[in-house]
A and B are shown apart, each in its own frame.
Chain A
């Protein structure tokens, strides 16, 4: 049985009275899932002050839906208010600094959770750190953030599904920006529905690949730069979905199929993903890119240096571990003073572990 959320209705009513600058803004509405339908996570709504960013880490366990040890998810639907930089859901593995039990109790919809509010303390909060990326597999993500596309509806390929286990710890990370050309006008509000696969025959398991170039430098004296990397799959696979992630200096993000044999850039025809927008990158969800064994992906992050908007080059320089004094943006989560070059990719069949290229 589908139940409309009263919170959503209130949000609709509330927004009518306060959205004079964008009267056509219609808040997202997601069904609330229960029992064998799957489960719904709802992040408590919060505000992001002008000129600020906010990154929060929510920990919640996969609920027991009464369907056995494996919960197979074949559709992920997100509803996200504008201003979101990303929403990522990870499986929690090796813990480095970011401890679920050190969080503040909260609720994600019906489910008890904890939250470590990173706020905009990108220098100190473990929620802003990247150490756990080394082995926390991504389950789902969305970077959509514009008022014309509040939901991301990812239907997995036929007979392919994500496997979750009751009790498994998940981390849902939100990152909102309310500065420059990415604004949070309507409050930070995030919901995710994990739809349980209803078919009874065993599906093919979906895996994820997380690849990143963390040793990057976008400097004033060398303003136009490109960083690229490769990541290989051990067996034959099919890429089902992908999206790229960078920050304000990012001008183009591309992902191509790579044969695993050549150090030459793959031909243009091998490219299957491109993003020209740092603040609202597309997510390709209908891919069917076959890759033979021992091949993989090649990705490119292109940047154009520019001054920070909310901070100064002094702040950028203070963050530079090599102290070059050249207003060099280095790896970091805050979009104004740091940069990223990350691939979020989903493939099947899953190999023995998820894939990380760091």
Chain B
């Protein structure tokens, strides 16, 4: 189905407009209007979804199976991946993004992150999560992981759902990958790392046989 192109207000422009009236302070009561809908595509058609991720420079990258996805160090410590949605046939302004890190060897869900996202419409009629609304999915350290978390494949499941109940879900196998030469990342993403312990050399562990080979970095 060919998506319907719709004109919508760019979120950043909308944000700027609201911010203009925002400098006074001192008023404790809410004065912002509710988020307005911004349909993307044909809302009567099934929602469609693809997964995208950010690199360390906030570049949006379409995620492809077995691709390396960069582990990024956030201010709170640890290492995360930043996942977003590329979607259509959905309300792009009132939408929840759920991402999950899953061990494909045992189907255990290691971590879920759920948050609002905003889709920015591109010239192809698809909406992509604005860089400020990507999922912050913690990967390591992880006390319950039974495998290393760096340089081995994990399943990433992504779901979107708008306020009217339109939803879509997909998943992809990606390879969380530490920045080159970042020993602390290698250490904290090792299976046997204990939070708060000193980082020394960690042995690499065998992964389960997924019948696939990771792409080179």
Contacts and interface: CB of A to CB of B under 8 A. Distances in A.
A351 B24 contact: no
A212 to B, nearest CB: 7
B3 interface: no
Interface residues of B, number: 56
A229 B114 contact: yes
A324 B34 CA distance: 18
Given A130-B75, A260-B108, A307 B19 contact: no
B78 A221 contact: no
Contacts of B143: 232, 234, 351-353, 355
Given A131-B75, A226-B116, A314-B23, A93 B196 contact: yes
Contact of A326 (B16, B74, B196): B16
Contact of B112 (A263, A304, A313): A263
Contact of A260 (B19, B25, B109): B109
Contact of A214 (B11, B22, B75, B100): B75
A313 B18 CA distance: 11
Which of B133, B141, B196 has the most chain A CB atoms inside 10 A of its CB?
B196
A138 interface: no
A354 interface: yes
Nearest to A214: B76
B138 A261 contact: no
Interface string B1-45: 000000000011011101100111111111111110000000000
A265 B118 CA distance: 21
Contacts of B32: 220-221, 223, 305-306
Interface in A339-358: 351-358
Contacts of A226: 96, 114-116
Contacts of A214: 74-76, 136
Contact of A229 (B18, B23, B35, B112): B112
B98 A307 contact: no
Given A313-B19, A317-B19, A306 B30 contact: yes
B61 to A, nearest CB: 18
Nearest to A233: B144
The A contact surface, by secondary structure, is loop
B15 A219 contact: yes
Interface string A213-240: 1111101111111111111111000000
Contact of B34 (A93, A223, A309): A223
Contact of A327 (B19, B132, B197): B19
B25 A309 contact: yes
A224 B12 contact: no
A3 interface: no
A351 B157 CA distance: 28
Contact of B138 (A219, A351, A354, A357): A357
A68 to B, nearest CB: 24
Contact of A133 (B76, B109, B133): B76
A198 interface: no
B195 interface: yes
Contacts of A93: 196
Contacts of B18: 220-221, 326-327
Interface in A252-306: 260-263, 265, 294, 298, 304-306
Interface in B100-143: 100, 107-116, 118, 131-133, 136, 138, 141, 143
A293 B16 CA distance: 48
Contacts of B77: 131, 133-135, 358
A313 B76 contact: no
B53 interface: no
B159 interface: yes
A232 B144 contact: yes
A97 B16 CA distance: 35
B16 A325 contact: yes
Nearest to A131: B77
Interface string A310-326: 11111101000010111
Contacts of A326: 12, 14-16, 18-19
A134 B76 contact: yes
29 contacts: A131-B76, A134-B78, A135-B196, A137-B196, A180-B28, A217-B132, A220-B15, A220-B18, A220-B19, A221-B14, A221-B18, A223-B35, A226-B96, A227-B114, A228-B113, A228-B114, A229-B113, A232-B143, A261-B109, A298-B112, A304-B30, A306-B30, A306-B31, A307-B22, A309-B25, A310-B26, A315-B25, A325-B16, A353-B194
